[in-house]
């Protein structure tokens, strides 16, 4: 049973999937940092200093205006639309990068498929022997 599990776990597809999962998690953190630390400050500057990460719409009279998003959530229901915008931008960046990776992999697969395999040496030798036999038969 252990041998079967080892064969299953070490198959190329499962190992590739595991590596892709770990890399995807790391890339998501990188993308989140890119959005939160590099993109959103410029968006805030263009929008007169609005911090979108704390932007929300209160659905309760108990939540006074001006609280941080964390404090507002403690007091009542809120729609965290600023966080949603940040997550949406993050999603589109990750999806675009994944699209580029898949496109590059497909291009590599197509180019590998187009290259003809070299003719084996045995086949070349047999072809030469056949041609020599035909030549000798034509002389007779």
Residue 70 Cα distances to 9, 29, 55, 73, 75, angstroms: 42, 21, 11, 5, 9
Tell me which of 10 and 1 has the higher pLDDT: 1
Averaged pLDDT for residues 119-135: 87
What is the pTM (predicted TM-score) of this model?
Answer: 0.55
Instruction: Decide if pLDDT at 9 tops 70.
Output: no
Q: What percent of the chain has pLDDT over 90?
A: 2
Residue 35 Cα distances to 57, 62, 86, angstroms: 22, 31, 7
Domains and CATH numbers, the chain: 2-139 (1.10.1200.120)
47 vs 59: CA distance, rounded Å: 24
């Amino acid at each position: 049973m252990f041998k079967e599990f080892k064969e299953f776990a070490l198959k190329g597809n499962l190992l590739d999937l595991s590596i892709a999962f770990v890399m995807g998690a790391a890339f998501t953190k990188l993308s989140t940092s890119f959005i939160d630390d590099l993109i959103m400050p410029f968006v805030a500057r263009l929008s007169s200093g609005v911090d979108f990460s704390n932007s929300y719409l209160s659905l309760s009279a108990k939540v006074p205006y001006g609280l941080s998003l964390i404090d507002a959530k403690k007091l009542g229901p809120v729609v965290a639309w600023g966080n949603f915008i940040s997550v949406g931008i993050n999603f589109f960046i990750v999806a675009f990068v994944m699209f580029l990776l898949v496109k590059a992999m497909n291009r590599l697969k197509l180019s590998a498929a187009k290259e003809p395999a070299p003719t084996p040496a045995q086949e070349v030798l047999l072809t030469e022997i056949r041609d020599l036999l035909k030549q000798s038969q034509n002389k007779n």
